[in-house]
Structure 1
Amino acid sequence: MDAASSEYRERRAAMLGKLAELDAEHAKALAGGGDKYVQRHRGRGKLLARERIELLLDPDSPFLELSPLAAWGSDFPVGASVVTGIGVVEGVECLIVANDPTVRGGASNPWTVKKSFRASDIALENRLPVINLVESGGADLPTQKEIFIPGGRMFRDLTRLSAAGIPTIALVFGNSTAGGAYIPGMCDYTVMVKERAKVFLGGPPLVKMATGEESDDESLGGAEMHARTSGLADYMAVDEHDALRLGRRIVRRLNHRKLGPGPSAPVREPLYDPEELAGIVPEDLKVPFDPREVIARIVDGSEFDEFKPLYGTSLVTGWARLHGYPIGILANAQGVLFGAEAQKAAQFIQLANQADTPLLFLHNTTGYMVGAEYEQAGIIKHGALMINAVANSKVPHLTVVMGASYGAGNYGMCGRAYDPRFLFTWPSAKSAVMGPQQLAGVLSIVARAAAEARGQVYDEEQDRAMRELVETQIEAESLPFFLSGRLYDDGVIDPRDTRTVLGLCLSVVHNAPVRGADGFGVFRM
């Protein structure tokens, strides 16, 4: 790749423009409930959610925030009133969930629930201790019909984590009411801040309505009562900083160890500059790009041992190391997946499972090839072969959507439905059942055939309007902000951060044992 070429400069300018848009959307999540509510929260002498996280983590250690754009494009604030992510506490990688009390008192809306579920899944799969930084008024009552029934899973997940030997900790800074009271109730360790924490199933107004009893917050659910009388609080902190100190000390005493192997080689920086990742993907995704240019800028020493390089050439497969960890890589080269590519992928995935090696999928695919010639050659059974291999592979999968991710190609390359341990997208990514023009064209052909079957004259003007409307809709619904808002990824990332993000993820997945599949389903040959 020539970083001095006009083509590179155009691609880089387009990507930097998209990254500026991403920064603007992230700023909305960082702003919480807005300046008015942030100042009111500070006026009460309280720390913000991300300030609590920063003080909890080891100094100068990274924090991999997850799903920061959750609820984007919905009626709820970007971020879904909760911060989730992975950080290091006393040398232990932990999953952290922090309510943002500046957003409607930290109340949980439907997207909060979905974001919390995703965090629980990550903790369970990767054996990460969970630390809940609690300050929430419970469910957002106007949307209770979308929260109450599925929301019970939050408490189920906490008990399953504990049963699996994965510690759970609650640091309660303020309200934890109604169903939210079960979060400290079901965690292994609970810390409450004196004169701040309020934990009860029903607050004074509800108790008054239900029983006629007059009570106050402190006697009903204050930290002092729970520490001295009910026994719900294991520790009582004098203030927020003390609660975070106690939380760190609890983690220090967990004796929690990784069960997977550590890096098997010294870490070496790529020979090619990761800064150049901003200029690789073309703005028009119909224009192909070589994924080896990406691989050379993310793997250790830019060393990549390509597997079957002369066969199925629109899919690149091979072995590398990333931050010292061995990985197998599958990367789309020319977009379309043919039968040879599918067979090559299935063999490579089997080899990775045989060697207990995690897999990295780099997407830029329009899907599996269609047409009479390819149907007759068995594209369905070949695609099924690849999807079978992906679905039944047991080694950890990491996925990055760089460009297009359309149709069943999304499945074969381990899209969200196939449960990769982590999935991130670049701002250049697009994902849908097919491209906007193709989808609108298919609808047009079907409508035209239906009109002819009825003996009607087809309205060309209406057809043009329909195609334009559909293309606009599908384009909007294919973009990364839209997909990230619905938690179809774990975040939209700057391409230049890809190596760092993947390195963090590889460290995280090795908290659990890394072992390949003992067998696969029936391969239709």
Structure 2
Amino acid sequence: MSRLDTSGDDYLARREAMLAKLAELDTEQAKAVAGGGEKYVERHRRRGKLLARERIELLIDPDSAFLELSPLAGWGSDFPVGASVVTGIGVIEGVECVLSANDPTVRGGASNPWTLRKTLRAADIALRNRLPLVNLVESGGADLPTQKEIFIPGGRMFRDLTRLSAAGIPTIALVFGNSTAGGAYVPGMSDHVVMVRERAKVFLGGPPLVKMATGEESDDESLGGAEMHARVSGLADYLAADEHDALRIGRQIVRGLNWRKLGVPPRAVRDPLYDEDELLGIVPEDLKIPFDPREVIARIVDGSVFDEFKPLYGGSLVTGWARLHGYPVGILANARGVLFSEEAQKAAQFIQLAGQARTPLVFLQNTTGYMVGKEYEQGGIIKHGAMMINAVSNSTVPHITIVMGASYGAGNYGMCGRAYDPRFLFAWPSAKSAVMGPAQLAGVLSIVGRSAAEARGQVYDEEGDAAMRRMVEAQIEAESLPFFLSGRLYDDGVIDPRDTRTVLGLCLSAVNNAPAPEPAGFGVFRM
């Protein structure tokens, strides 16, 4: 039963604050959608070409969802928001696939360091969740001024393609334009290759480089054109008449895969009893103020039915079982931020029970970390926190994490942050993540500086200390915000809270392409 007062002043203030954050999110995501800007978009259209998102829209099934991943990649860097590539999960001929589409309106689709990270993340999602990977290729290769950050780690992109194929996961390349230098290995290492006549150009070295290296005179078509690769080299499996034909052939290839999901099929779906719109008014603007995550759970799970585990023990962490879009899930949600020994032990037992039942886990983060202080250290908070982190680390079921509010300290680890390889991790616009809160971090530095001055017999500079604290607090606040973290791919995207149920449903459907995981190899330790 929900106790949320949707007419109260607190709720309305929280809702307004969240709507303001969502307006900022829309502005930043619009930059990624705009690509290289009006000038380059128009030039691309004049050449008779489709935009990256148009190619995706025509490739996936009509009226089906497309879960875009990392749309803010590169935010706050010297590179355009979106990192010149669009990645996500879409349904083609009824098959969930990972799609990766170069955006040629952004510096010719050249790959910068954030493009590489985003592309590698997409390949990782395809491999771990057994999803066919479709590359929509049109790229000028590496952004040469930043080659030092791309060349060596970039080899993993080609390694991933071969590992996907070796794992029986199909890889498909639809080549619409340039695919040069290292980029030529994308079609070269894909299982299925489609090239567009008179548009696709695939070669290790273009005519200028060949001239410099060998003295040979050549042209684009004879060196790496689609017609040549279809008739002479054999690299192209299909020669498409135009872009629409390439997308048609791509759908035909996926249809012929005879793909089937190996995981758990969903049961009947029941809508929550409460309106998803009410999720906007749950998280306070000040994350030091706790909120009840049961109100979130009631608005995202089927029928708002939540079977709570150990409700009277370890009250700062809510654990329990539910169904979401018909899929069984175990949920761990922070209730009062701080994790004590009881919460850590409760979490460890619950995670192991989920492993026994092969049930995916959903982590709803709002934590300031594990409790500190003499009493808690003597009570074993380190070993109990380690127990929880151990359970998370060695759990074999899929994990999906949503950062709703605070994600500080080792609480980020225990609640399955990015370092613990959740299958998917998304953040709300209200999320913040850092080693600790800005005021606490600045205060620690102040205490250390004051102690050092006293040890040297010096008078402490109070004015300088105040300036340092202001500077550090501002820096940590900026670096803990969701746009900053999403720009560095520490999550898979910042989402509207109202989309949480849909996003989780798409993720659960995706993870069930893979077979149910094997158990961790040990029974449940009662804590």
TM range (shorter): over 0.9
- Find the counterpart in structure 2 of residue 32 from structure 1: 35
8 Å CA contact 1:330–1:359 kept in 2: the answer is yes
Mapping of residues 397-476 of structure 1, within 5 Å:
397-476=399-478
Within the candidate set 119, 123, 126, 2:122 is matched to 119
- Find the counterpart in structure 2 of residue 108 from structure 1: 111
In the TM superposition, what is the alpha-carbon distance from 1:176 to its structure 2 partner? 0.2
In the TM superposition, what is the alpha-carbon distance from 1:418 to its structure 2 partner? 0.2
- Find the counterpart in structure 1 of residue 163 from structure 2: 160
Within the candidate set 91, 96, 99, 1:96 is matched to 99
Do residues 372 (structure 1) and 374 (structure 2) align? yes
Cα distance change of structure 1 residues 505 and 290 upon mapping to structure 2, 3 Å threshold: same
Within the candidate set 173, 176, 184, 1:181 is matched to 184
- Find the counterpart in structure 1 of residue 397 from structure 2: 395
Structure 2 CA distance, aligned partners of 1:210 and 1:468? 56
Mapping of residues 264-283 of structure 1, within 5 Å:
265-283=267-285
TM superposition score normalised by structure 1: 0.99
Mapping of residues 238-277 of structure 1, within 5 Å:
238-263=241-266, 265-277=267-279
In the TM superposition, what is the alpha-carbon distance from 1:520 to its structure 2 partner? 5.4
Letter of the aligned partner of 2:396 in structure 1?
K
Cα distance change of structure 1 residues 99 and 218 upon mapping to structure 2, 3 Å threshold: same
Structure 2 CA distance, aligned partners of 1:514 and 1:442? 46
Letter of the aligned partner of 1:438 in structure 2?
Q
Letter of the aligned partner of 2:510 in structure 1?
V
Structure 2 CA distance, aligned partners of 1:285 and 1:472? 16
- Find the counterpart in structure 2 of residue 76 from structure 1: 79
Within the candidate set 86, 106, 109, 2:89 is matched to 86
Give CA deviations for 1:184-239 in whole Å, capped at 9, x if unaligned.
Answer: 00000000000000000000000000111111000100000000000000000000
Do residues 140 (structure 1) and 143 (structure 2) align? yes
Structure 2 CA distance, aligned partners of 1:375 and 1:524? 22
- Find the counterpart in structure 2 of residue 128 from structure 1: 131
- Find the counterpart in structure 1 of residue 496 from structure 2: 494
Structure 1 CA distance, aligned partners of 2:523 and 2:449? 40
Structure 1 CA distance, aligned partners of 2:265 and 2:507? 13
Letter of the aligned partner of 2:400 in structure 1?
L
Structure 1 CA distance, aligned partners of 2:451 and 2:358? 52
8 Å CA contact 1:94–1:128 kept in 2: the answer is yes
Do residues 381 (structure 1) and 390 (structure 2) align? no
- Find the counterpart in structure 2 of residue 334 from structure 1: 336
- Find the counterpart in structure 1 of residue 346 from structure 2: 344
Structure 2 CA distance, aligned partners of 1:524 and 1:200? 60
Report the secondary structure of 2:229's partner residue: helix
Structure 2 CA distance, aligned partners of 1:215 and 1:27? 41
- Find the counterpart in structure 2 of residue 193 from structure 1: 196
Structure 1 CA distance, aligned partners of 2:488 and 2:519? 30
Give CA deviations for 1:374-427 in whole Å, capped at 9, x if unaligned.
Answer: 000000000000000000000000000000000000000000000000000000
Within the candidate set 139, 153, 163, 1:150 is matched to 153
Report the secondary structure of 2:261's partner residue: coil
Do residues 10 (structure 1) and 13 (structure 2) align? yes
Q: Mark the runs of 5 or more structure 1 residues left unpaired by the alignment.
A: none
Structure 1 CA distance, aligned partners of 2:411 and 2:160? 32
In the TM superposition, what is the alpha-carbon distance from 1:257 to its structure 2 partner? 1.0
8 Å CA contact 2:104–2:110 kept in 1: the answer is yes
Do residues 355 (structure 1) and 357 (structure 2) align? yes
Cα distance change of structure 1 residues 524 and 72 upon mapping to structure 2, 3 Å threshold: farther
Letter of the aligned partner of 1:125 in structure 2?
R
- Find the counterpart in structure 1 of residue 292 from structure 2: 290
Do residues 233 (structure 1) and 236 (structure 2) align? yes
8 Å CA contact 1:262–1:510 kept in 2: the answer is yes
Structure 1 CA distance, aligned partners of 2:276 and 2:524? 41
In the TM superposition, what is the alpha-carbon distance from 1:522 to its structure 2 partner? 12
Structure 2 CA distance, aligned partners of 1:73 and 1:116? 19
Give CA deviations for 1:103-157 in whole Å, capped at 9, x if unaligned.
Answer: 0000000000000110011000000000000000000000001000000000000
Structure 1 CA distance, aligned partners of 2:276 and 2:342? 31
Q: Mark the runs of 5 or more structure 2 residues left unpaired by the alignment.
A: none
Letter of the aligned partner of 1:333 in structure 2?
A
Structure 1 CA distance, aligned partners of 2:110 and 2:311? 53
Structure 2 CA distance, aligned partners of 1:522 and 1:381? 17
In the TM superposition, what is the alpha-carbon distance from 1:361 to its structure 2 partner? 0.2
- Find the counterpart in structure 2 of residue 67 from structure 1: 70
Cα distance change of structure 1 residues 202 and 398 upon mapping to structure 2, 3 Å threshold: same
Report the secondary structure of 1:152's partner residue: helix
In the TM superposition, what is the alpha-carbon distance from 1:517 to its structure 2 partner? 2.6
In the TM superposition, what is the alpha-carbon distance from 1:513 to its structure 2 partner? 1.1
8 Å CA contact 2:349–2:525 kept in 1: the answer is no
Give CA deviations for 1:417-473 in whole Å, capped at 9, x if unaligned.
Answer: 000000000000000000000000000000000000011000000000000000000
In the TM superposition, what is the alpha-carbon distance from 1:523 to its structure 2 partner? 8.1
Matched residue count? 524
Cα distance change of structure 1 residues 63 and 442 upon mapping to structure 2, 3 Å threshold: same
Letter of the aligned partner of 2:468 in structure 1?
M
Letter of the aligned partner of 1:69 in structure 2?
L
8 Å CA contact 1:191–1:243 kept in 2: the answer is yes
Within the candidate set 182, 202, 206, 1:203 is matched to 206
In the TM superposition, what is the alpha-carbon distance from 1:515 to its structure 2 partner? 2.4
Alignment RMSD (CA, Å): 1.1
8 Å CA contact 1:406–1:432 kept in 2: the answer is yes
Letter of the aligned partner of 1:272 in structure 2?
Y
In the TM superposition, what is the alpha-carbon distance from 1:261 to its structure 2 partner? 1.3
Structure 2 CA distance, aligned partners of 1:361 and 1:138? 38
Report the secondary structure of 2:410's partner residue: helix
8 Å CA contact 2:187–2:193 kept in 1: the answer is yes
